Chain A
Amino acid sequence: MSGLSSESARPWSTRGRQWLRTVLGPFLALVLVVAVFTVADNMQADGGKFATLRNAQNILVQSATVAIAALGMTMIIISAGIDLSAGTTMALSATVLAWFLREGYPPPLAVAIGVGTGCLAGFINGSLISLLRVVPFIITLGTMTIYLGLAKMIGRSTMVRPDRAQIPDWMGELLLPRLKYEWMIFPPGVWLLLILALLVSAVLRYTVFGKHVFAIGSSEATARLCGINVPLTRIAIYTIAGFFVGMAGLYQFARLTIGDPTSGTGKELPIIAAVVIGGGSLSGGRGSILGTLTGALIMQVISSGCTALKQPNPIQEIIIGAIIVAAVTVDQFRRGSG
């Protein structure tokens, strides 16, 4: 089984080196971006606030929603797929969650149903791709607006606003930079994200399922010839990814305290960008969880840094765009030389 993907067939030293290359690249980029902004901020008259714990908490909190959704997107992209519906699914999950809270259901149930909605949306994506044999790009382009429509239906075209009292404290504190317990350093949502990231990373690296994900992404035909149940594996991948998008919905709701059916429109792009900046290849077979987390952080550091340096929004948008192009170009060079 392990002979399927070219990756696992190589001796350890080569794999190790390749891992260093794919993961270290984005990581160095992150260090560089942080360093550049720290220096520039310190040269300002009233600077010195960028490289602080409070700002680090901020950046982690702000990137957590994109990052947790990007965990699933990494799996999808490794399997040579894409999920354009991630953004609207996230908003759908948040809206469903808000609706159940507002109607007075117990919070744990509301969370379970909200996250479950994400799983279901992913399951539908995977099933449609497998059954209809249409490329993921088209299927999820369609479900993107379907899920948006469903969210609007649930919200009756407006926000779903539970009462403040209906939102449990732990949910409000999930991603609050102002900490309840100082010793936690980061809010619980950030720790949960890190634990889940470790879990997915382990699944991709050490389980048969993980190897199948890489195999399908490297060559679907070969994977099929080797006896992998491609349709079933694909459904599993999209369902698991849906779980993470559902979690992103919970995260978004925790920050907004309202369910906004349209809040996910366009959010699939930063999620995909996080994976790509982190070294994921849209042609499949490559990507790493650590890289993805780094990618999400890079985007947020730039955004936060531009505020610190008083740079207007257009500059920030151009820098992020340039970084995406640069990341993918560097990635191609690496592939060429590797």
Chain B
Amino acid sequence: MQRWAFGLLLLAALAGCHRGEPSADSSPGANGNGKRLRIAVIPKGTTHVFWKSVHAGALQAAKELKASGVHVEIQWKGPLLENDREGQINVMQDFIAQGVDGIILAPLDSTALVTSVLDAKTAGIPTVIFDSGLADEDAIVSYVATDNYNGGALAAREIGKRLAGKGNVILLRYNVGSESTEQRERGFLETLHKEFPGLNILSDDQYSGTTPLEAQNKALELCNQFGDRVNGFFAVCEPNTVGVLGALEQEGLAGKVIFVGFDPGPQLVPALEAGKIHGLVLQDPLAMGYESVKTLVAHMQGKEVEKRIATGETMATPENMKQPEIQKLLVPEQAD
């Protein structure tokens, strides 16, 4: 009896299949002036607020394009697990098979995603890369991202300025093999060496790990070792900054040590206001989403586009954080 019901359901489904096909082209979405462009946006993960702001930026660009007569549909999908390279490859392949018109990707890995991007190119689908680089620059239309090297340099200048060029500084790195944070670290150290020869680096070889808790433990170790001597601290990304903040608070050093972090977060903005953090390097995820969509569509329309688009990086300090343009970056808009 049950099996009969099952079979009937199946038949109904198959019958529906035949009816569906011819109507596919005559549906309302496909008409209008010009073709609707389906653009897939693939972030590194879907839960972090940073990506939600990228999404908001992409949607904003789509809205503006629609007003100018170009109908763009954003298809937002990331890997199920954060850091799942294979999952991201699967999402890429799914979109290629769907025959989307263009792809915007934040690659979880600079080399592992190359094959998929080349695959898209072979299928005639252009790809714009954002946030983190791809090893094969020829395979992509454009690379839209923060200039991370400059972000690190900004941090070095803020600490150098506040310490008046003298004192002891610690750099807490993020994770081995993470391209964007390695550039921040390089920008920080090189600027420090060049512009502030009076600053002494106590430690620059420790890695925080990927979670705030790991970062806090690592920062506590550093505080135990150098707590009486340290004057400046740079943490290279958000979880790292949260961890270091926790450690400084625990050791009673918060506010006394000049501390610059990277990226805003719900714990970090109040700490900036309270003067426990002296600077946060801000990226512009909204602009990343926005510029990526605009660039990709311009490329599809046959226009020349820049190979590298920098979305800007800004230093937020307790002094300037109330300014509207800084507020917009500290608490960026998010897609729901």
Residues 305-328 of A, flagged 1 when their CB comes within 8 A of B and 0 if not, give 001101011001100000000000
A176 near B: Cβ within 8 Å?
A: yes
**Contact A65/B115 with A258-B109, A307-B91 known, Cβ cut-off 8 Å:** no
Cβ 8 A contact of A62, one of B76, B93, B119: B93
Complex Cα gap A45–B286 (Å): 29
Q: Which B residues are in CB contact (< 8 Å) with A58?
A: 93-94, 96-97
Instruction: Tell whether, in the assembled complex, residue A42 and residue B24 are in contact, meaning their CB atoms are under 8 Å apart.
Output: yes
Selected interface stretch from A139-147, A214-222, A260-268: A260-268
Complex Cα gap A44–B28 (Å): 10
Complex Cα gap A308–B95 (Å): 8
Q: Which A residues are in CB contact (< 8 Å) with B38?
A: 46
Instruction: Tell whether, in the assembled complex, residue B89 and residue A313 are in contact, meaning their CB atoms are under 8 Å apart.
Output: no
A18 near B: Cβ within 8 Å?
A: no
Nearest-neighbour CB distance to chain B for A141, whole angstroms, equals 20
Complex Cα gap A266–B17 (Å): 36
Nearest-neighbour CB distance to chain A for B133, whole angstroms, equals 14
With an 8 Å Cβ cutoff, the count of chain A residues facing the other chain is 53
Cβ 8 A contact of B97, one of A38, A43, A54, A156: A54
Instruction: Tell whether, in the assembled complex, residue A39 and residue B16 are in contact, meaning their CB atoms are under 8 Å apart.
Output: yes
Complex Cα gap A177–B90 (Å): 11
Selected interface stretch from B5-13, B189-197, B215-223: B5-13
B85 near A: Cβ within 8 Å?
A: yes
Instruction: Tell whether, in the assembled complex, residue B83 and residue A258 are in contact, meaning their CB atoms are under 8 Å apart.
Output: no
Complex Cα gap A179–B303 (Å): 32
Instruction: Tell whether, in the assembled complex, residue A313 and residue B13 are in contact, meaning their CB atoms are under 8 Å apart.
Output: no
A 266-281 contacts with B by CB, 8 A: 266
Interface residues on B, range: 35 or more
Q: Which residue of B lies closest to A33 (CB)?
A: B13
Instruction: Tell whether, in the assembled complex, residue A304 and residue B94 are in contact, meaning their CB atoms are under 8 Å apart.
Output: yes
Nearest-neighbour CB distance to chain B for A305, whole angstroms, equals 9
B21 near A: Cβ within 8 Å?
A: yes
Nearest-neighbour CB distance to chain A for B335, whole angstroms, equals 11
A178 near B: Cβ within 8 Å?
A: yes
Cβ 8 A contact of A313, one of B27, B78, B111: B78
Nearest-neighbour CB distance to chain A for B312, whole angstroms, equals 30
**Contact A158/B176 with A39-B20, A258-B111 known, Cβ cut-off 8 Å:** yes
Complex Cα gap A44–B80 (Å): 24
Instruction: Tell whether, in the assembled complex, residue B83 and residue A262 are in contact, meaning their CB atoms are under 8 Å apart.
Output: yes
Instruction: Tell whether, in the assembled complex, residue A52 and residue B176 are in contact, meaning their CB atoms are under 8 Å apart.
Output: no
Q: Which residue of B lies closest to A159 (CB)?
A: B177
Complex Cα gap A36–B77 (Å): 21
A198 near B: Cβ within 8 Å?
A: no
Instruction: Tell whether, in the assembled complex, residue B115 and residue A45 are in contact, meaning their CB atoms are under 8 Å apart.
Output: no
Complex Cα gap A62–B36 (Å): 29
B98 near A: Cβ within 8 Å?
A: yes
Selected interface stretch from A67-75, A103-111, A126-134, A249-257: A249-257
Instruction: Tell whether, in the assembled complex, residue A32 and residue B13 are in contact, meaning their CB atoms are under 8 Å apart.
Output: yes
Instruction: Tell whether, in the assembled complex, residue A263 and residue B78 are in contact, meaning their CB atoms are under 8 Å apart.
Output: no
Complex Cα gap A19–B30 (Å): 48
B 129-181 contacts with A by CB, 8 A: 175-177
A332 near B: Cβ within 8 Å?
A: no
A172 near B: Cβ within 8 Å?
A: yes
Q: Which B residues are in CB contact (< 8 Å) with A61?
A: 93
Instruction: Tell whether, in the assembled complex, residue B111 and residue A45 are in contact, meaning their CB atoms are under 8 Å apart.
Output: no
Instruction: Tell whether, in the assembled complex, residue A158 and residue B83 are in contact, meaning their CB atoms are under 8 Å apart.
Output: no
Instruction: Tell whether, in the assembled complex, residue A308 and residue B98 are in contact, meaning their CB atoms are under 8 Å apart.
Output: yes
Cβ 8 A contact of B6, one of A32, A46, A158, A266: A32
Instruction: Tell whether, in the assembled complex, residue A303 and residue B90 are in contact, meaning their CB atoms are under 8 Å apart.
Output: yes
Instruction: Tell whether, in the assembled complex, residue B85 and residue A47 are in contact, meaning their CB atoms are under 8 Å apart.
Output: no
Complex Cα gap A39–B97 (Å): 17
A48 near B: Cβ within 8 Å?
A: yes
Most buried by B among A172, A255, A313: A313
Instruction: Tell whether, in the assembled complex, residue A28 and residue B6 are in contact, meaning their CB atoms are under 8 Å apart.
Output: yes
Complex Cα gap A203–B24 (Å): 47
Complex Cα gap A182–B289 (Å): 38
B99 near A: Cβ within 8 Å?
A: yes
Q: Which residue of B lies closest to A258 (CB)?
A: B112
Nearest-neighbour CB distance to chain A for B12, whole angstroms, equals 9
Instruction: Tell whether, in the assembled complex, residue B115 and residue A313 are in contact, meaning their CB atoms are under 8 Å apart.
Output: no
Instruction: Tell whether, in the assembled complex, residue A47 and residue B86 are in contact, meaning their CB atoms are under 8 Å apart.
Output: no
Cβ 8 A contact of B81, one of A44, A46, A266: A266
Complex Cα gap A105–B86 (Å): 25
Instruction: Tell whether, in the assembled complex, residue B13 and residue A35 are in contact, meaning their CB atoms are under 8 Å apart.
Output: yes
Instruction: Tell whether, in the assembled complex, residue B24 and residue A48 are in contact, meaning their CB atoms are under 8 Å apart.
Output: yes
Instruction: Tell whether, in the assembled complex, residue A257 and residue B24 are in contact, meaning their CB atoms are under 8 Å apart.
Output: no
**Contact A159/B109 with A45-B30, A55-B97, A256-B89 known, Cβ cut-off 8 Å:** yes
B 40-90 contacts with A by CB, 8 A: 46, 75-78, 80-81, 83-86, 89-90
Q: Which B residues are in CB contact (< 8 Å) with A256?
A: 85-86, 89, 109, 112
Nearest-neighbour CB distance to chain A for B39, whole angstroms, equals 12
B122 near A: Cβ within 8 Å?
A: yes
A-B pairs with the 9 shortest C-beta distances? A42-B20, A45-B29, A158-B176, A45-B27, A35-B13, A158-B177, A307-B94, A55-B97, A39-B16
21 A-B residue contacts at CB 8 Å? A31-B10, A32-B9, A39-B13, A42-B21, A43-B16, A45-B28, A45-B29, A45-B36, A47-B24, A55-B94, A55-B97, A58-B93, A157-B176, A158-B176, A176-B115, A258-B85, A260-B112, A303-B90, A304-B90, A308-B94, A313-B80
